[in-house]
Amino acid sequence: MGFSFVSESFQNALDRLFETAQKNLNSKDDETKNWANKVRSLKEFFTNRTLEYLDINLHETKKWNLFDVSQLADSIIANDLLHLKYGALSFYVYLKEWEFRRGIKENEQHNPIVRSFYDFIYTEKNQRYLEFKTHYDFVDELPFVICGEIYSDSKLSEIRNFLEEKDFSDFNSFVETNTTTFEMIKKWEESFDEKNKLS
């Protein structure tokens, strides 16, 4: 049933990925250097608290071992550029499900580091979509999957059925009756005040 963000193997893989990023921050190859800087910029995001949150809430991502940085093939890890790319795209998947689950208003999207990371990934997506098509397609489908979860919730269905079964026509007559009663009381109070003034 997928992977865990709080497992020792995941933490070790994160450490290894950040080490790869650190050693390539000043790479002579600009592409490797760019990817290294983007991966390294997110290191502070992956605290124990954040990893626990991800483990509890990222239901869809956890189903797919493809997004587990601890299960990257040795051939990918051996190539620094591929290691950084796969790691960054996995981070992108994590951040997007995080965003969709928490809601944009609560997300770190306005954080300049995350915004810069998203901009970088969107540029890559426009230039090299097919290289990481599975990652991009997964993220594009996530909002629909999450909405499907919400609207297929059994409690929501019970509420929907309850509302459909009820006849609210009596409610309108109740409101009209209350309005009429209120007006009668108001007129009575006004006439009572006038009588008191005359006495």
Domain parsing of the chain, residue ranges? 8-154, 169-198
Average pLDDT over every residue of 69-96 = 92
Q: Is the pLDDT of residue 108 over 60?
A: no
User: 118: exposed, middle or buried (C-beta count within 10 Å: 0-12, 13-18, 19+)?
Assistant: middle
pLDDT at 98 over 70: yes
DSSP, res 1:
-
Q: Phi-psi region for residue 119, left (φ > 0), alpha (ψ -120 to 50) or beta?
A: alpha
| pLDDT of the residue at 81 | 94
- The pLDDT of residue 107 is 47
The H or E element that residue 150 is part of is helix 133-151
Taking phi over 0 as left and psi of -120 to 50 as alpha, with beta for the rest, 79 belongs to beta
**113: number of Cβ within 10 Å:** 14
Asked if 88 contacts 82 with a C-beta cutoff of 8 angstroms, the reply is: no
Q: Which residue has 């509420």 as its token pair?
A: 159
To the question of pTM greater than 0.85 for the whole model, the response is: no
* Residue for token pair 């991966």: 39
**CA–CA dist 88, 98 (Å, integer):** 15
Say what the pLDDT of residue 111 is.
Answer: 74
**Rounded CA gap, 73 and 9, in Å?**
14
Summary mean pLDDT of the chain: 85
